[in-house]
Amino acid sequence: MKRIVVLISGGGSNLQALIDARLAEIALVVSNRADAFGLERARKAGIATLLLPLKQWLAAGGTRDGYDADVAKHVTAARPDLIVLAGWMHVFGPAFLDVAPAKVINLHPALPGQFPGARGIERAFEAYKRGEVAQTGIMVHEVIPEVDAGPVLGTAAVPIWLTDDLDALSSRMHTAEHKLLVEVVRRILSA
């Protein structure tokens, strides 16, 4: 069975979608936040977890490149066939990407070229209220050092409805994220 490593920073609902899909052995879940509920999801599923907080690394005199290299060391030890950033809130540079032992993909809550970086759903909803967009969406892309700019592996459009508030839009976005992420991971692992 193929092996994946999943990196998270939050609730882990995309991790849960991968756990439920049973596409591969999830060899390791890494988080940079101790309060990430995704760590609990992984533990309940019997998946090895690792907490590597960037803030503590930097407070101890480390550098971002050193942090990226340390994460790469731990990820490499898990021998993954694919590395999935699923809500991972840290931009990797060459110290991670140049030594990553497998393709690194990221899930981003926006369509290509729209709302790179954090708060993609909120920023899309604000743009909708200003009349600038009628829809938003999800993309899965290969990771490069630039934020949310790598080659696109899959997208899903999500309309914004007149009756939406941010919670309703967020709920539909998360449903679309789970489906698209599973589809892209399945396609990559079966290639």
- DSSP β-ladder status, 49-51 and 82-85: unpaired
Task: Locate 81 and state its tokens.
Answer: 């066939």
3-state helix, strand, coil split of the chain in percent (to 5) is 40, 20, 40
Six token digits for residue 50: 């690792």
Spell out where 41-182 has E strands: 49-51, 82-85, 103-108, 135-142, 152-159
Find the length of the chain.
191
Asked whether 33 and 9 are in contact (CB, 8 A), the reply is yes
The token pair that represents 32 in the structure block: 């940079």
Task: Give me the active site residues, please.
Answer: 108
Q: Which of 55, 57, 60 is nearest to 74 (CA)?
A: 57
Token pair listed for 67: 């942090």
